[in-house]
Chain A
Amino acid sequence: MDVQAGKQPKMLATARREFAPWKDKAASPLIRFERVSKRYGGVTAVDGVSLDIYPGEFFALLGPSGCGKTTLMRMLAGFEEPSEGRVWLAGRDLAGVPPYRRPVNMMFQSYALFPHMTVFDNVAFGLKQDGAPKGEIASTVAEMLKLVNLTGYERRKPDQLSGGQRQRVALARSLAKRPKVLLLDEPLAALDKKLRGQTQFELMDLQAKVGTTFLIVTHDQEEAMTVADRIAVMDHGRIAQVDTPADLYEKPATRYVAEFVGDVNLIEAKVVSRDANSVLMQSEAMSAPLRAICEGDVSPGQQVALALRPEKIRVTLRKPGEALENCVRGTVSDIAYLGDLSIYHVRLESGLILKAARPNITRFTEQPITWEDKVYLSWAPEAGVVLVK
């Protein structure tokens, strides 16, 4: 993440802290997928998805290629009908409603700008379909182009624009009708990394300004975490978990989510015992017993996985205290220096390799840890997450 990327979310976070309609029992969702499935012949693209999205949310669908993100979005836009289940929008069942009668607009991955029309006519297209008066069209188009910083480009044709400008025209066009929901299918995939980072923040700003519900599809977890209020992680047509970026990272529900979002060490273990709020586990790969805070439903003897984020593991040359739990010994086999932090690959006696991150706080450490050093890895009981699935 670059410097800019590091700064801005904090700023926006204050404005958004209170925004959590999904926790409010009284709030009614704007979009509701109700056990929606979509099959193409033998292929199940979307498999029994239930999902609520609330007004004003910036919601991301995240998942690897082919997991059904686009299909789910196209069912909301009306380009595909579900094989099973229902899609609701603002309390209305969308079954059989054609795309041109749905109050949602989509920004296409390929932008799909009309090549024979000027920027003005592209943005005005949706408004003209509704037979809006000319003056109103002109003022809305001007407003939209101002929103995306393209004032003065009205007379250009799409092939006279750069990739980034085209993308902004597409955005203006899909916002012009003030849809209830704006669908964005990998809107930034065609942009280079730097422009993408910049545009992510422009998108967030824009969403804050217009207040429209945004549903974005992406397979870039960093992008999803940057822009979205909540993220649905998809896996083979199913929803693996829906949560805020922070909860997704800190409290993954399954091994799949833990591995997909961020970097993680997954340690297979067996539950030995549990008390009020923690479990004690034993792993064949670890020399010490493992303890982790866990409110979930696990019982002794059960096979689980302990998910440990690299940055939550301490690397030390000396044994930290007299800890018996959550402390193992190994040899540094690899170091990745990333500037702001270093990732240590530590091989345990069992052969398992754990990744641990260490921020490079000072420029020169007194006792730098190097290759082949014997080190201790330790972590707090709160650091790990016990995964059953």
Chain B
Amino acid sequence: MSVHSARSGTGRKLVLLVPYLWLTFFFLIPFLIVLKISLSDDVTAQPPYVPVLDFSRGFEGVRGTIAALDFENYRLVLGDSLYLDSYLQSLLIAAVSTFILLLIGYPVAYAMTRAPLGWRPILLMLVILPFWTSFLIRVYAWMGILARDGLLNQALIGLRVIDEPLEILATNGAVILGIVYSYLPFMVLPLYAALEKQDHSLLEAAADLGSPPWKSFWQVTVPLSKPGIVAGCLLCFIPAVGEFVIPDLLGGSDTLMIGKTLWTEFSSNRSWTVSSAIAVLLLMVLMIPILFYQRIQARNLEAR
């Protein structure tokens, strides 16, 4: 018995090693490189920062490099309201978008689980269908729809709902719309998964005990779909904060999202060091909801 469990124990450890190795090579090491660059100084050279790690001088060289690192870039980023505004606006836009996504995604997922069994695979396909077209093309299409003389304004004027074309493109509203449109499947799928496995007899039990359907929804359906809600919100919120393409194409010049700011810093200003510092800070900001999520999970496990 113990021999067997010991053997399956090593097997399990080996399997667990795979994701750790993956994360080490494709996340941790690149991140350490970015972290190092963020602590360096800009120069006009190739690569455009100093100090460069110099292994030819051995241990002395590495120590010299580390001694030359400082938090100058972080001081700059944290001291400049442009960057802080970018962070705040990113968080705000991502939060509003996630909230709207939840408002739209929940009824969609709920309706899907109520659909006849035979329809569900088709409905799931329809949710995923937009992925078959390039994301970039779909966002460009929104530019065509939202532009001053775009489809939406033409239609509204044609229907005599408005006289003057609306200024939608190049606003934060357009960015939020773009995010909601693009991320909807990421909200719907985890919600669907959570709602679909719910036992229908629980709702019957609630009704039997005197709870009308709308109350059962809040007392049974929603609490039981909490893991789906959390997963969907995280899946949408985290990438939305760092989103670059959508604010770049649909946002205006006053749309300050951190992904866009980072891109400007990197490509126009050619400051690898400052953009690295922005990236590291962004990661730290995003750690907050993840840690929050983990605490909820830990508490749920404890309650068991």
Contacts and interface: CB of A to CB of B under 8 A. Distances in A.
A314 interface: no
Nearest to A109: B201
A126 B224 contact: no
A112 B201 contact: yes
B205 A159 contact: no
Contacts of B224: 115-116
Interface residues of B, number: 20
B199 A110 contact: yes
B145 interface: no
Contact of B207 (A99, A114, A173): A99
Interface stretch (A22-30, A100-108, A226-234): A100-108
B32 interface: no
A255 interface: no
B80 interface: no
A129 B215 CA distance: 9
A278 B204 CA distance: 53
A156 to B, nearest CB: 10
Contacts of B199: 110, 112
Contacts of B304: 157, 159-160
Interface in B168-225: 199, 201-202, 204-212, 215, 219-220, 223-224
B211 A100 contact: yes
B67 interface: no
B195 to A, nearest CB: 14
Nearest to B226: A116
A100 B223 contact: no
A157 B223 CA distance: 14
A62 B205 CA distance: 23
A159 B220 CA distance: 16
A66 interface: no
Contacts of A104: 208
Contact of A112 (B205, B215, B303): B205
A159 B215 CA distance: 24
A79 interface: yes
A100 B207 contact: yes
A177 interface: yes
A105 B212 contact: no
A106 B201 CA distance: 11
A79 B226 CA distance: 27
B303 A100 contact: no
Of the candidates A105, A112, A173, the one having the most CB atoms from chain B within 10 angstroms of its own CB is: A112
Contacts of B303: 157
The 5 closest A-B CB pairs, nearest first, are A126-B209, A129-B210, A112-B205, A112-B201, A99-B207
Interface of B: 199, 201-202, 204-212, 215, 219-220, 223-224, 226, 303-304
21 contacts: A77-B208, A79-B204, A79-B207, A98-B207, A99-B208, A100-B209, A100-B210, A100-B211, A105-B209, A106-B208, A108-B201, A110-B199, A110-B201, A114-B205, A115-B224, A116-B226, A125-B219, A129-B209, A129-B210, A159-B304, A173-B209
